Every structure is written in structure tokens, then in C-alpha cells.
Structure 1
Amino acid sequence: MDIFGENVFNDAVMRERLPKATYKSLRKTIVEGLPLDPEVAEVVANSMKDWAIEKGATHFTHWFQPMTGITAEKHDSFISPTNDGRVVMEFSGKELIKGEPDASSFPSGGIRATFEARGYTAWDCTSPAFLKEDGDVLTLCIPTAFCSYTGEALDKKTPLLRSMQALSKQALRILKLFGNTTSTNVTSTVGAEQEYFLVDKKFFDQRMDLMLTGRTLFGAMSAKGQELEDHYFGSLKTRVAAFMHDINVELWKLGVLAKTQHNEVAPGQFELAPIFGTTNIATDHNQLVMDTMKKIALRHDMVCLLHEKPFAGVNGSGKHNNWSMSTNDGLNLLEPGNTPHENLQFLTFLCAIIKAVDDYAELLRLSAATPGNDHRLGANEAPPAIISIFLGDQLSDIFKQLQNGGVTRSLQGEKLASGVSTLPAFKKDSTDRNRTSPFAFTGNKFEFRMVASSQSISGPNVVLNTIFAEVFSQFADRLENAENFDQTLQQLLKETAMNHSRILFDGNGYSEEWVAEAAKRGLPNITSTVDAALVLLRESTIELYGKHEVLNKTELESRYEINLEQYSKQINIEALTMIDMAKHKIIPAAVKYSTELANSINAIKAASSAVDVSVQENLLIGLCSTLVSFNSNLSTLESVTLEATNMSEAYEQAVYYRDVVFKAMGALRVDGDKLETLVDAELWPLPTYAEMLFML
């Protein structure tokens, strides 16, 4: 309690330090979305500066989230010169509101040419400023949006804020139809569960692939993996528990509601989950979570890996994006209540969400598309690439009733029958959970389980907010013009239930039967980031984002280019890293061992022709034949990687990287991993899976 939020310029600090009129004006901007008064910014800046200096800060930065997916910052000191050659500590409202980074040095998808450098960062007062600790250095970080000189969004925050506005506007229309005149704002809320791996730093430092790409490009599977299922929720090792303690302390100082921590399924894998927050702040907080994890791990001589698939053959990492909606007066709009069949407002929102996910499944799939996530989705460890919705027994039963035109009952959970008299009796939830579902209802929220562990949660939530705003708009248009509201509503819910039941699936999303069934239903199965990107150029996508003023055509086209460019660059880095490791690590080790074997065979034969050296000879033959194949595959990878870099058209290049370069990388890895099993362990130049996964 003493440390929580101590490094945050939060509401309590503002209420204490700001004049009442200034505080009230700022709160109206934050809560009601009213325009910011420039005079307010001047007062806030001075108060924020005094608070930061008292804490020990000497610099401030506009903290923003460019299209790299990570955060960016440029530090400026508070000092300002005086006429007598001294300095004073100043921070103006202008400095608070506006910054100017180089826009052409960040991914822009062609919006900014190299010579067009000017960009702007603008203060986002809806997300509180905070002090970031780097050792003993404190820096005032001001969350900001980032746009080009010509006004296009170049970041993750701007479209998120726009989508939140769109959602609020359309959701309020629905609420008004049900007689709600007190709520003035609807905010999407998110709790982002973060999965990650930890490895000992001494092993990380010997793995160029982990350092440059975040995943192991070579590595034979350990004799033990996760098959005993003994790591999940297992007791924490002392070293890991100490790391988690320090993570909690640092995050609590930053006002991050870190709540749950545990071992995940794979050895060396863990999870941290926060309490819900507004989507904008939750997105900022998740960026802080990832950044803090990396820094704290180093204090414990470990490295935090956020890649979706750092180790082949064991579970990868994702993020579970738990999404809901709340009003400014405290109503959770996805709370079904004890009798959801009687809660028509809830059923209206539920049906709208189901329709939106069905109508815009490909857009939702795109939101979780990254090169790393291509390794993970559908691999019996994460949801499949096919979008579907899990409602559970209670809501599925209600949805079936809607198809028949009337809802009269809600299934209720029974008491848990443990068979042990001393165990407490309690009521079960009305439905089970489904971990294989990409989009599952879990009580009073939807859990979007496809999100990649390393990506910003902004993109997925921009899509969720926008597609839901669109269907809320469609529903409101029809209901506002209805002559008989009750009759029209019943018809609308029935039509939605009948037309969009194909998206509902409560079974095993990992099964081959579901893949076949989904195809019969006409559900898209997009397995690649490259193919997912194409939806950004569709006219329907441009119209959707344009209607709700979330992204314009130019901004969508830029994101298409950025997605493909980042995919190609990532695969190219991985290919070049493999080539380097193959040439300078693996081949020399294999050659050295084969030479030792040959010398051993010759020495033994020279000593006695009667000695059987067939074991050594067979090992040498196997080693050399594998080395020949490895070298051949290495030459192929070098050739196709060079060919890929010469391509100029973004989609053609990305397809080539996926279909040709990535395939060549796989072939090289097969031989490389086989060599690991043949070469003397003392000569093998890379830490093994067994060492990295189990030696913490």
C-alpha cells in the first residue's frame, strides 16, 4: 500500500497538487472526453515538474509507441538558462503538450520520406505520467500520441484512442435505447495476461540466435520437455520467486495492478496477469510490464524472452486479452447477471459482438498476426488460426432459444460435488472454460487468446473496439427507427442468432475435425501473417475504419506496407543469423570432431589391426554425411536469402520469404539439430535445450 503508485502522477497526486478549478477541468477532459484547455496544461506542467524534481528527476520525455511495437523516448532536461549564466528548472505547458521526434526514422509505410523528418508527439492526458527508474536515474515519462507533420497516425496509441471514442459513441446509443440517461461515456477495459520465458544469462550470451532474433534457430529437443506436465502451476524456484518479487515491486510503483503469477506449461515459462484497466492505460501498462521484465531479469543474471516461440517442441507464449466494456458510472455491460435471459440489454450487446466477430473474423485474425505468432497459432498450445467464439453452456442455450424467437430460461450452475465431506460446498460457474477457443466468454468479459506475447495489445483492441462500434451502430440505426421497439429488438436478436451461429464452437479447437467443420461453415483459416495483411487493402476495411474515423485509407495502406516489411525483415535477420551460426559455430565444431574421430580411427588401426573400430567409423560416416547435407542446405539458404533481398515489391518479397527462405531455414535446421546429437558435447558450441530450459 505504501509503494503502490508512488511513481505515478495519478489522480490522487493531481487532486492534492492542482488548483481545484484546474483539477476539475482536467478530469472532465479525461472522463468525458472534452477538449483540453491550454491554460490547464500550463498549470499541470508546472505541478508535474515540481513533483518529478522532488522525487529526484532531472529530465522528462515524451513516451510514445511507434509502429515498431515497442516504446520510444527522447530525454530533455528541465534546465533553462538565466541571464546571469545560471539555470532554473522549468517545464512549460507547450513542452508538456507537444514534442517533435524524427518521423522518418520510424516505420511509416511510405507516409514519410527520408527527407521529410518532422513528426509530433501530443500529450495523452487520459494516461497518467510516471517516473521510470533506470538504476538510480529517474525520468518523467509523459504518455503521448505520435503523428506525422501531415497528421497521419504513426503509432499504436492514436488509433486506439480513436477507436475508444467510436466505441463509446455507439454504445451510448444502445444504452439510451434501454433508458440509460446517466452514463455519459463507455470505455473498453482490458486485462492482458503476459506469458514469457526466463533463461540464464550465461546461456543467452552464447546464443547469437536468441540475442538477434529472440528464438533458437538451432537446437535439438531435450530428453525431457513438458510431457510430464509437472511445470504448470508448480512451486516457484527461489531464483524465479525473487525475480517475480522484484517485478511486482517495480510494477506496483508504476501503478500497474500486477495480480497473478505462476509457472506456465513449458519448462522455463511463466505468466503474469494484471487486474483490469481502461484499454488505453492497460496498453501502456503492458508495455511497461514487458520493459520491466527485461530489466529486472538482468538484475538476477537472467534474460526474459518474449518471443512467441523461443524453443521448438515446447509451448510458445501469448497474451490473453481479456476485453469488456464499462460505463463511467460503474456498469459492466458484459455482466449477464443471475438471469441473463431476462437481461435484454446484455443480450443486445452479446449478439452485436457475435455478429461483429463473424463479419470481421479476418480483420480480427490480422490483429494477432506476427512472424513469431505464425509458429504458435494452431500448434496445440494456442488457439487455432480459425476465429470462433465459445459461449459456454448457459449462453449457448440462450442463443439457441433466440433462434426460436423467445428466451424463457437460464441454465444455472450446480454445487460442486467433490465427494469429500470436509471440503467446502460452493456453487459452480454456470459454464466450463475452453482454452482452445480464440474468443471465449469467461463470465463478464471475452478472452481473446490469439494475441502474440511480444506485440502491443493496441492493434487487437483497435480492431475489437472498431468492429463492435460498427455493429452497435447498425443495431442502433435499426432500433432508433423502430415503430415498435420491443418487437423490433426481438426480431433483431433472432436474426442475429440465426445468421451468425456458424461462428460459435464449444468443442476442441485443436482437432482436425474442427478444421474440416470450419471449412464447411465457411470460416476463414488464415495461417500466415503475409496472407492476413491483405485484409487491410479491402474496400470494406477502408470504409469501416473511415466511417468511425479510426484510420484513413493512407494510414491503412501504410500499415499494410509496415506489416509486410517487418515480416520480411524478421525472416531475413533469422536467415542471416542461421548462416552466420552455421559457418562460424556448427561447421567448425563438426569438422573438429570428425577430425578427432578420423585421427582416433587411424591411431587405433596403427596400434592394432585386430581392434574393431566399426563404432567410430559408423559415427564418422554419419557425421560426415550429415555435414555434407548441412553444407548443401546452407548454400541453398544463402542463395535464396540473397534472391529475396533483391525483390522490391512488398507482398511478393514477403511471400518469397515465407515459402522459400523459411523452408530453406527449416531444412538447414534439421541437419543442424542432427549434428548436435552426433558431435561431442564438449565440442558443441551452443548451450542445449536441457541447459536453457531446466537450469534456472
Structure 2
Amino acid sequence: MSTTMKLPELFGSMVFNEETMKERLSSASYGAWKTCVTDGTPLDISTANEIAEAMKQWAVEKGATHYTHWFQPMTGVTAEKHDSFIAPAGGGKIMMEFSGKELVRGEPDASSFPSGGLRATFEARGYTAWDPTSFAFIKEGSLCIPTIFCSYSGEALDKKTPLLRSMEEVSRQAVRILRLFGDTETKRVVAQVGPEQEYFLIDKAQYAKREDLRMCGRTLFGAKPPKGQELEDHYFGAIRPRVAAYMKDLDEELWKLGVLSKTKHNEVAPSQHEMAPIYTDANSACDQNQLVMEMMKKVADRHGLVCLLHEKPFAGVNGSGKHDNWSLSTDTGKNLFKPGSTPRQNARFLLFLAAFVKGVDDYQDFLRATVAFPGNDHRLGAQEAPPAVLSIFLGDELSAVVESIIHDTDFQSAGKRTLEIGVDALPAIRQDNTDRNRTSPMAFTGNKFEFRMLGASQSISGPNIALNTIMAEELKQFADELEPSRDFQADLQKLIRRVFTEHQRIIFNGNGYDDAWLEEAKKRGLYNLTSTADALPVYTAQKNMDLFINHGIYTKGEIEARAEIHIENYSTVLTIEAKTMADMIRHQILPAVSKYADDLCQRAYHKDAMGVSRQYETSTAKEIAALTDALQEICAKMEADLDAIPADATAAMNYCHDVLIPDMAKAREAADQLETLTASDYWPFPVYSDLLFYV
């Protein structure tokens, strides 16, 4: 941090935020922008031109020379095409220009991004359009303007557009519910998100020697080191100076960009760490999490490190997730998932809680599909992350409240009280009313739900689009039922009791790691979609298609396209991993172990000639030879299986799951055994002890 700049001054210094806009825009243009954000009214071209000019002047003063429309295509990462501010001024001179038209719209090539068939290769035109609800910022000398991305014919080709649609829809339906409780002040309800981000740091020089890390982001081979995480000494332990310097640098870069980086600590696995922000509106949270992942990698490079965001870069130790803390708040500052202290607040909270419980139960399959991709398959259900079965943890006290509603019995708390929703006072439910449950996929944590199934590398847009839309659907159903009511209080009680009764199967407060829970979940009729190949087909199940189409979040083509993109990505990732495995086996592992075995045989020959025992050399060489032959055979089969992948996308996904994954598991088993037998000087790349325990 600059010695001349204090943290409050540093924070947001590279963001064209509301304070900066208020300073640099006329009151009319500032007011027009505010109205655009709050009411969705369009900006006229004169206002856009004034905002563009102010943005350009501010950016140039900060050292920027270029601008870019910063968008989030279906790759899961961000995209940007940079144009300079310069324009010819005659006489060999230039001037710095940036117009409202350039601010509001851009035309990047749409043919080279994943489109799921929405765009043909020869149809290149796409549009980016400014998102005025997300602040522009400066990154590496360019003014970055957050935008949506759509095709020439208007289909959404990005992750931001449906997120904004879902935020509007959940707001609209939530306001309908609030009106029933006499709330006439709230104009908007905002989905709030705080994504905790886990990651690994490893030495850059060691990383460069591993083809699997460079190609796939994870190790495809690696025997278990003498020490892993057994001593439990890394979690929350003292941060090593090299990592602390990295974290300090990362915080400052994120603070400049207005990211509310709050918490940093060591995670469970060696070389694993976490950053947690303060949560904000879902749109900003999704934008900022993309920046977080980008900055984690770039800052690591400055420190001679590499940041790994893969969900399972190392076998045998914990992988990395991303805990998505989600809630709803009014524009007047009320958290709708915070248990209240008055009857009316209690009833409102219980109704929103009932909507969430019903929604997760109704669409548990789709929520599972939103976190389904190859990297996350290594992590979910691996005794370090939630199982693949969706359930909701409410805690003892809130569960007791729900039980009393279901059975129409007295609720037992500090004292015996009858529970008549909205009439008798429900005891205040403490924010920390129970122990935490880290095995739960969806845990209530006092005033929000923590969706713990997300993988560390994924965009958080998809899961939050789903949460917003599911909640909008349930609130719509509730509003449709309650708005015509002539006895709101009585019908409200009946509705809440009915919903909790019909959907109590999704509530589970126990140990999600226990095999007994999987049996219990099966009895309850809950989905257990253990792999991505199992989960992705539900994307286009009719009830899930109807959900998003009816609420205007996706068109039929848009949701089908996303399913196709995810399915193709699965096969592509596994194909790359299998090809990388084969390449490492043939060009690195087999030559290395053959050389070592040959040297052992030569030593055995010389020892035999001298009459010296050669037991180590002989037995080791024989074992290596047998494993070498086995690895060669496995590799040949894997290469043949790669050549036989079906052309159909769904068939290819299932083939990769059923054939390539077992091939890769067998190849790894043989190679890892060879690693334990081969002298360190011969093994062709750094092992886990080198990677996880760098100085």
C-alpha cells in the first residue's frame, strides 16, 4: 500500500463509482443514471455522452490509455477487447475520444465463444451492452466497462444477462409478498451474495516442470507424500512470510478495485488458503468474484507463485470449493431471512423460509446440475465437501420451530409458548442459534443460506441465477394464493404449515458425510446425482425448462444451449486430461523408469560379478518392469479409447465417464506405484512433497 494513501482512500480508487460520478457529472446526468439503475429507464444519448466523457477524463487521469467492454461469456471466465482512446486530430496529431455510443455498445466477434448452437461459425456478429448497475474500473491501463453479451439476433451468450433477469424477477415476486404484510416502502428486493474463495499456492518453478498442472490445472499423477494434512496444523495456522506478502499484495489490488476482501487464512490442506469478502448485491458479487480469481493468479505470478483454482489439484488432501452465501434484502436495508422479533416479522420470515425450503426441494436436481463439471466431481462427497445430495440445514432451534408448525404443537424454548403465526410472539431466534454444519450443501447461518457445493474455479452466476429464479417461482405461487385471500392470517398459517409438511424431507441437520445419510436420503426420495454425467441431463428436464422460460430468464434455445455447452465441456476436459496423461506416460514416465530399471540391472550385474548381494536391485527392477509393462498396456488402451469417443455430445459425455475415467484411474495407480519405487533423481517431474511443502 502506498505510504501516502490510507486504506479508505485506496479502497475503490480505481473504480468509477457513485461518489466519483456524483463529483464529475452534472446533477441532471447523475440523476438520470440513478433513475436508470433504480427504475430501469433508458439513458438518452446526450446523458450517455456526458458519462462517457467523464469516464474517459477520469480514466486518463489515472493513467489509462485504452477501454474495453468487459464481459462474461459461457467460458466461465471474462473476455475483453481493448481499444485505445486515440483518434486522429490532423497534422499528425491525436486527440483522446470516447463517446456515449462507444460506452453503451460494442461489437465483439461472437463466433469463437461457446454458444451451444445459438451461433454458427460463419455468423460472427455479437453485441456487448453497458450494464449501468455495475461500476466501470481500471485494470492494467484499461478502462473496463462491465457489459452483457448477446448475439446479433438477441440471444444471451453470457452469464450476466440471465443473472440480471433473475434479480429483477425475484425482486418483483418478493415485493408482491411484502405488500401482503403491509410494506409499502420497499420498491426493490436485492439478491445478496458473498462468495468465499479457496485456492492453492505453489512455487512457479515447480509448476513449470509439471505438464499436467500447465495443461489441466491439476496433478494427474502423484503418490501420497509422507505428510499431508494429518496433523491438522495448517488450518488457521500462522501464515508463512512468502504467502503473507502475497495476501497483502492481493488485498491491496482488490481494494483498489472496490472488492470487499475481508478475511484471509490458511485452509485445511497444505498450501491451501481462503479469501472471504463482505457480501454485496449478486451482480456486483459475480463481477467481483471474476476479478478475485483473475487477480489471485496475476498477483501470484509477481511473487514467483502460481495460484491453482482447480477443485482437486492434489489427491489425498482437501480440494477447494467456493461457499456462496445468499440472501434477500430490501432497498430499505431489511434482510428478509433474518428472524424478526415481532409477530409480523416472524410470519414474514417464516413465509420466505418456507419458499426457500420448497424451492430447494422442488428443484434439487437443477441446483445439483449448476455445480456439475469435471473438477467438482473430484470434490463433492469426498469427506471434505458436501455430498451430491441436496439438503438444507436449519439448526436445532429453527428446526424445532418448523416441527411445531407441522404438528401444530407448542414450541418449547426458554418458556412454553403457543405458536400461532403472526398472532402470538415467536421467541426471537438468535442469529447463532446452533452449531455449524460443514457437511451440509445448503446451511442456514443466521440470516442467509450458504450454498457449499460450488467449485472453486466456477463462475458463481449459474448457481445464483438458479437460486433467484427458484425463489421467484415459489414466491409467485405464494402471492397468487394469498392475494385473493379474505382471511390473510388464517390462510397464511395454513400455507406455511402445508409447505413445511410437504417438503420437510429436504431438511437434514445431521452428518452429511455418513453413509447412513445416503441411505436415508434415498428413502426420502432425494436425488443423488453422483457425477456430472448423471446431473447434466436434468438441465433440460421439462419442469426445469418451464421454470426458466416462464419467468423470462432463458428462452428455450438459451437453456438448451447452456446444457449443450456444459455437456461438451465435460468431454473436452476429460479428453484433454487423458491426452495429457498419455503424453506424460510416453514421453516422461516410461523413459525415466526404464532408465532407472536399466541402471539397477547394470548395478546388479556388477554386484553379482563381485559376489555382493543384489537383492534390492533385482527385486526393485523386477517390480518396476512389471509395472512398466502394465502402464504401457493401460496407456495403449487409453489412447485407443480416446480414438473411439462418439460424435454425439451426450454419448461422448457418458463414454468419457464410463470409459476414460476408469482408464485414467488405472494409469494413475500404476504410475504412482512407480513413483514410490523410482529414485528421486530419475523421476521426471516434482512430486507432492516438492509441490505442497515449498519454502
TM-score range, shorter chain: over 0.9
Contact 1:341 1:410 in 2 (8 A): no
Bigger CA drift: 74-83 or 94-103? Answer: 74-83
CA distance in 2, matches of 1:73, 1:551: 24
Q: CA deviation at 1:441?
A: 0.3
Q: Percent identity at matched positions?
A: 55
Q: Where does 1:106-125 land on structure 2 (aligned, <5 Å)?
A: 106-125=113-132
Q: In the alignment, which residue of structure 2 is the partner of 1:596?
A: 599
Could you tell me which of 233, 246, 249 is aligned with 1:246? 249
SS at match of 2:323: strand
Instruction: Summarize deviations over 1:298-337 as a string: whole Å, max 9, x none.
Output: 1110000000000011000000000011111111111113
Aligned twin of 1:693: 692
Taking the aligned partners of 1:410 and 1:51, their CA distance within structure 2 comes to 58
CA-to-aligned-CA distance 1:12-65 (integer Å, 9 cap, x gap)? 000100101111111122133333333321111111011001111110000000
Give the Cα separation in 1 of the matches to 2:43 and 2:210: 50
Contact 1:258 1:274 in 2 (8 A): yes
Distance of 1:36 and 1:559 partners within structure 2:
31
Shift of 1:491: 0.3
Please give the alpha-carbon distance, in whole angstroms, between the structure 1 residues aligned to 2:342 and 2:277. 29
Please say if residues 63 and 143 of structure 1, whose CA atoms lie closer than 8 Å, have aligned partners that are also in contact.
yes
SS in 1 for 2:644: helix
Q: 1:159 aligns with which of 153, 162, 170?
A: 162
The answer to whether the 8 Å contact 2:181/2:344 transfers is no
Equivalent residue number for residue 208 of structure 1: 211
Give the equivalent residue in structure 1 for 2:201: 198
Secondary structure class of the residue paired with 2:10: coil
What corresponds to 2:405 in structure 1?
402
Q: Which residue of 1 aligns with 2:299?
A: 296
**TM-score, normalisation: structure 2:** 0.95
Give the conservation status (yes or no) of the 8 Å contact 1:411–1:430.
no
Match of 1:271 in 2: 274
Q: Which moved more, 1:174-183 or 1:28-37?
A: 28-37
- Equivalents in 2 of 1:453, 1:430: separation in Å? 28
Q: What residue is the counterpart of 1:73 in the other structure?
A: 80
What are the superposed Cα offsets for residues 63-107 of structure 1, whole Å, 9 maximum, x if unpaired? 000000000000001111234442211111110010111111000
Aligned residue identity for 2:283: N
Correspondence for 2:57 = 50
Match of 2:23 among 12, 16, 20: 16
- 1:164, distance to aligned residue in structure 2 (A): 0.3
Query: How far does residue 341 in structure 1 lie from its aligned partner after superposition?
Result: 9.4
Change in Cα spacing, 1:409 to 1:144, as seen in structure 2 (3 Å) is farther
Letter aligned with residue 96 of structure 2 = M
Distance in 2, Cα, partners of 1:536 & 1:578 = 30
Looking at structure 1, the residues matched to 522 and 239 of structure 2 have their Cα atoms a distance apart, in angstroms, of: 43
Question: Per-residue deviation at 1:340?
Answer: 8.0
Is the 1:32–1:185 Cα contact (8 Å) retained in structure 2?
no
What SS does the aligned partner of 2:9 have?
coil
Query: Which stretches in structure 1 are left out of the alignment for 5+ residues?
Result: 413-426
SS at match of 2:185: coil
Secondary structure of 1:575's aligned partner: helix
Residue 199 and residue 376 in structure 1: after superposition, are their counterparts in 2 closer, same or farther (change >3 A)?
same
Contact map agreement 1:30 1:125 (CA 8 A) in 2: yes
Distance in 2 between residues matched to 1:108 and 1:253, nearest whole Å: 34
Which residues of 2 match residues 583-622 of structure 1 at below 5 A? 583-608=586-611, 611-622=612-623
1:556 equivalenced with 2:544 (yes/no)? no
Q: Deviations over 1:115-162 (max 9, x none)?
A: 0000000100101000002xxxx1100000001111111111001000
CA distance, structure 2, for counterparts of residue 85 and residue 341 of structure 1: 71
Partner SS, residue 443 of structure 1: coil
- The CA deviation at 1:353 is 0.4
What is the aligned residue count?
674
- Give the Cα separation in 2 of the matches to 1:469 and 1:341: 21
What residue number does 1:176 align with?
179
For 2:668, the equivalent position in structure 1 comes to: 669
Amino acid at match of 2:111: S
**Structure 2 contact 15–258 (Cα < 8 Å) conserved:** yes
Q: Is the 8 A contact 1:163 1:462 kept in 2?
A: yes
Q: Please name the residue that 1:336 is paired with.
A: 339
Distance in 2 between residues matched to 1:372 and 1:428, nearest whole Å: 34
Partner Cα distance (1:464, 1:428) in 2:
22
Aligned partner (choices 368, 371, 375) of residue 372 of structure 1: 375
Change (3 A) 1:166 1:69: same
Specify which of 36, 41, 47 is matched with residue 34 of structure 1. Answer: 41
Q: Describe how 1:192-591 pairs up with structure 2 within 5 A.
A: 192-338=195-341, 343-405=346-408, 429-591=432-594
Kept in 2, the 8 Å contact 1:393–1:411? The answer is: no
Superposed CA RMSD: 1.3
Aligned 8 A contact 1:341 1:398 in 2: no
Distance 1:331 1:39 in 2: 36
Offset from partner CA, 1:244-267 (integer Å, 9 cap, x none)? 000000000000000000000100
* 2: CA distance, partners of 1:408 / 1:223: 53
Q: Distance in 2 between matches of 1:204 and 1:266?
A: 18
Q: CA deviation at 1:607?
A: 2.4
Q: Where does residue 92 of structure 1 map in the other structure? A: 99
Instruction: Write the letter of the residue equivalent to 1:289.
Output: V
Could you say which residue in structure 2 is the equivalent of 1:682? 681
- Once the two structures are TM-superposed, the CA of residue 380 in structure 1 deviates from its matched residue by 0.5
The one-letter amino acid paired with 1:378 is G
Structure 1 residue 624 and structure 2 residue 625: aligned? yes
Residues 431 and 445 of structure 2 are in contact (CA less than 8 Å); yes or no, is this contact kept in structure 1?
Answer: no
SS at match of 1:104: coil
Give the corresponding residue for 1:416. Answer: none
Aligned to 1:657: 656
Q: How much does 1:585 deviate?
A: 0.7
Q: Is the 8 A contact 1:320 1:449 kept in 2?
A: yes
Output the CA distance in 1 between the equivalents of 2:271 and 2:616. 36
Secondary structure of the residue aligned to 2:351 is helix
Alpha-carbon shift at residue 531 of structure 1 (Å): 2.0
Query: Structure 1 residues 564, 428: closer, same or farther in 2, change over 3 A?
Result: closer
SS of the residue corresponding to residue 111 of structure 2 reads: helix
Cα deviations across residues 546-601 of structure 1 (Å, max 9, x unaligned)? Answer: 11100010001101110011111100000010011001110011010001001001
Q: State the AA in 2 paired with 1:53.
A: V
C-alpha distance 340-242 of structure 1, shift in aligned 2 (>3 A): farther
Following TM superposition, by how much is the alpha carbon of 1:404 offset from its aligned partner in structure 2, in angstroms? 2.3
Aligned to 2:423: none
SS in structure 2 of the partner of residue 109 of structure 1 = coil
Letter in 2 for 1:343: N
Contact 2:190-2:329 within 8 A present in 1 as well: yes
Q: Matches of 2:433 and 2:171 in 1, distance apart?
A: 30
1:629 partner amino acid:
A
Query: 1:276-313: per-residue Cα shift (whole Å, max 9, x none)?
Result: 11000000000000000000001110000000000011
1:423 maps to none
Which amino acid in structure 1 is aligned with residue 629 of structure 2?
A: V
Q: Distance in 2 between matches of 1:641 and 1:565?
A: 15
Any idea what the Cα deviations from partners look like across 1:412-450, whole Å, max 9, x if unmatched? 9xxxxxxxxxxxxxx993211100000000010000000
Taking a change above 3 Å as real, the CA distance of residues 435 and 241 of structure 1, as seen in their structure-2 partners, is: same
Return 476-485 or 535-544, whichever deviates more.
535-544
Contact 1:259 1:274 in 2 (8 A): yes
The two structures have a TM-score, normalised by structure 1, of 0.95
Instruction: Return the alpha-carbon distance in structure 2 between the equivalents of residues 474 and 405 of structure 1.
Output: 23
Q: CA deviation at 1:214?
A: 0.5
| Distance in 1, Cα, partners of 2:98 & 2:590 | 58
Would you say the 8 A contact 1:32–1:184 is kept in 2? no
Task: Report the Cα distance in structure 1 between the residues aligned to 2:256 and 2:237, rounded to whole angstroms.
Answer: 28
Question: In structure 2, what is the Cα distance between the partners aligned to 1:8 and 1:322?
Answer: 24
Q: Distance in 2 between matches of 1:573 and 1:407?
A: 59
